[in-house]
Structure 1
Amino acid sequence: MFRSKVSIVSLILFLLISVTVQAEVVSIEATVKSIDAKAHTITVQRKDKTTELDVSRKAKITLLDKDATLESLKAGQEVTLTFHTELEIVLKIEASKEPEKSEVLNLSEFNTSETDMTPWLSSDGLTIYWSAGTFPSDWWIWTASRKDASSLFKDKKRLFRGHSPVVSHDGLELIFNAPDSPKFFATTRDSTEDEFRRPRVIEELRFNKENQSAPRSLSHDGLSLYFDYLDKKHNPKFEIWFTTRKNRNSAWKPAQPVKISTQDALKGLSFTQPFLTDDQLEMYVVVGKESEKPNIRFGILSRKTLDAPFSSIRYIDHQGWQRPVSELPDPTLRPCHAGTIPHLKTSLSV
């Protein structure tokens, strides 16, 4: 009887220990958003949630069934993580395939002999807004739509005088720059089936005439506006600024520069044309070196929290994007600030 009880107790303990061990290690399917090799962390997205995880320095990392390093993983790559829930650390990373490479398409269906630039795509990818015109002040906002991602854009339509349009995630608010002065205009509509109302000046965001500005990104909730700004008297180069508001009907608060570190890999770099991810923790930018004016690249700046400065960068590698502007084979691949290159053609990365 005693031996029987001991055996039962041992079995129960074994089962409890097994359950505990199994519960400590879980498998997670996710998509890589960013890698910080120095901090040994990986930021992944699973459904609508983005999470940064510590990676063990002894973690087993494989890419296409071959040994790899943390640095070899790329944004957009699908991975399987083995995660220790008690230690809160990644023990293993498996990437079964290479990330999909983007393709740059020339949207020839509405490019003209004029300068076509600053495209803004709706959240569903079926409506596009852009600027077209001639320097210095003959600018118009245009729009076109398509049936699906494989179709050509049609129904090209001119909206308002101005340039650099940005549209809210729900498609109900449009903000753009005046064609001949550093003023921001805003217009709204009740549904995406309606026409936009007559634009009004955003009085609280007026700038001096000698300065230049251009809206670049509106946050997912519509409460933060990011833009390029040049104060010729105090700083001879463009900076990224932002402003916030309490709700969609509130006035915008005084604008201020976006905090970007000037240390380590970010030292000596300049940034323009920001586009923020939904959580505003990553910012897609055009990167230039202050010592090499003709050279530009696409990059992604990252920060830990909304109050923290952007402190790390990774580059988007694409054929032609890392070469000097003067050597790029086709104007559709030339990212630049408005006014840098004449006859810029609108293009789309898919």
Structure 2
Amino acid sequence: MQRTTTAPAIARELADNAPKTAKTGNYLPVRGGGKAGTRQAAWFLAAVVVLALLAAASLAVGARGLSLGTVWQALMQFEPSSGDHAVVHARIPRTVLGLLAGAALGLAGAAMQGVARNPLADPGIMGVNAGAALAVVTGIYVFGVTSLTGYIWFAFIGAAAAAVVVYLVASLGRERATPVKLALAGAALSAGLYSLMNVILVSSQDTLDRFRFWQVGGIAGRDWSVVLPGLPFLAVGAVIVLLSGRILNGLALGDDIARGLGQRVGLARGITALGIVLLCGSATALAGPIGFVGLVIPHAVRSLTGPDYRWILPFSLVLAPALLLGADIIGRVVLLPGEVPAGIMTALVGAPVFVWLIRRGKGAGL
């Protein structure tokens, strides 16, 4: 008698054979261990070292350059009368914001590409940037908000609301929230929200003048009053996304196979999307709409880790803030005594890197 094979058994067999089929370009989950696991751990340690060096450089580099020894003394033995020590402490909130916003964008970008199964997914695909921008413009125009602290709450509410609307619209119909429907819903909502925003900006020069500072995107000029309100949202979002590695590995196999493995696809996407909303909304609210970080880093990471999201997410957590801090440091010194905002520098640095990664053919598929 011929043995019948059930769908769950087929799905498990495909998952078990994923290392053999990963070379086809379909990013199937792989098992870390042995030499591969050791190599990935070594790369991760190197990434942490690079991030630590860039964080130290962020405290030392600027219009007033300082030595690392001075930075260490300012952190360990602060002297209020020392001008150098005061400069170091003034740069701490900026550096911390770079670490937090970069980590949030990296995690959200990697998870968003997994949930949407779209290699070009970034905060724009779910309407996050458009929702945050419209909310900030509304806050300035209607409520007269003038402080960065006020922008944070409006931006977060707008980003979260836009992402929820995109997911609800994409969930309509029998197939629920498919990758194509998510992309189309996000693009349509972004176009509509930006149109509404432009209507307000055209009718109010004062609103346009205030909005431009936030719209460029950057981590300069922020203090602890801006950073601290976003910490709870960032922490909850990071925990949700970091724990979704297995979920994203299952979704990478396709909805049918993920269901065969026992996943509730709609619920899995919804939970992961919640983490993405918290991370994207918080990062966009704190630093403005910074592009390319959440798009480039996951692609670069896959060339080191392979398709396993249990490695992609931690690597993105470390390398994304390294990119943002590096771009911010370059922006401080490239046009002295002025500065180029980090949002502009990430595009200038990230775009060539992204083109190079795509031409190499690595990380282009999901």
Alignment TM-score, normalising by the size of structure 1: 0.24
The structure with the greater share of residues assigned to strand is 1
The one of the two structures with greater contact order (alpha-carbon pairs below 8 A, sep at least 6) is 2
More helix, by proportion: 2
Q: TM-score, normalised by structure 2?
A: 0.23
